[in-house]
Amino acid sequence: MANLRRVTTITASLLALVAVAVAAPTSAVPTEGAEYVALGDSGAATTGVRNFDASAPLRCIRSTADTPKLVAQDLGLRLDDRTCSSARIPDLTTSQGPGIAPQFDALGPNTRLVTVHIGANDALMAEHIIACHATGVLGRACAGPSWDADIDGIAASYSTALRQISTLAPNAKVFVDGWPLYIRDGGCPEVVGLRPSDAVHVQAAFDRLNTVVARGAAANGATYVDTRTASEGHDMCAPVGVRWFDPVLATETLLPYHPTPQGMRGVADVIVAAVRASGKLG
């Protein structure tokens, strides 16, 4: 019974990974494209209960201080932030729900910069992570080979999306940011339910996802931005105020495995540095 109660507690906390809220109307579509368009899911959109953007569709749980907004401020660009929690690759071209336009609607000939952070939901990362935490408590094995297959399976649709961006925004430079370090080797008490070997397995899955999107970027004229290196020492096991992601028992955002304000700032710094180093925006 004690193990079952622990599973219930962990599962309740991790359900925030797949939570959906009611949608609200979105803004008008710019016909010529925004100067800077941010595309992606909750990894780019939200800091949970922190800095909540009431003007965005509620389902998107978008933050007023997410990575795209910080990038836009640093680079002095006008932003159309289309990132939205729970987004998958098909939501780039079709409506994610009532009041939410396809993310690609923001693209056009005036677009100079596009950042992309999407694919985790397509790879069923949340579902596999929840299973790893739960089975760890019960003493069973973490996710098996099916997780690798789910990650590898996004490659074709991801590459297709990058090619569509180039068509819709022919004058834009596209930057794809990967996933930072979530869990250090061996894990820690903050990642409740994960045995040391499972912590390695979960992080390896994120690293595999990075490999898939990096290959897609290289094959389709986009620039891949490595955020893992800069995030060393800022994983979920780091102290509050240092870590870039909230752990299972989230204290800052109420969304485990999602960026803290420090995480959004850290990723933004890496993206801004990559854009400036490229010299691609003049």
Location of structure tokens 């780039």: 92
Question: Are 256 and 49 in contact, with CB atoms under 8 Å apart?
Answer: no
DSSP track, 189-245: TTSTT--HHHHHHHHHHHHHHHHHHHHHHHHTTPEEE--TTTTTT-STTSPTTT-SB
Picking from 238, 224, 208, 227, the residue whose alpha carbon sits closest to that of residue 128 is 208
- How many Å separate Cα 24 from the centre of its chain? 21
Q: How many CB atoms lie within 10 A of CB 153?
A: 14
Residue 9: enclosing H or E segment and its boundaries? Answer: helix 2-14
Query: What radius of gyration, in Å, describes the C-alpha atoms of the chain?
Result: 18
Catalytic residue IDs: 42, 258
Distance (Å, whole) CA 65 – CA 52 = 8
Q: What's the number of CA atoms in the CB half-sphere (13 Å) around residue 11?
A: 13
3-state DSSP assignment of residue 36: strand
For residues 214 and 177, give the distance between their C-alpha atoms in angstroms, rounded to a whole number.
9
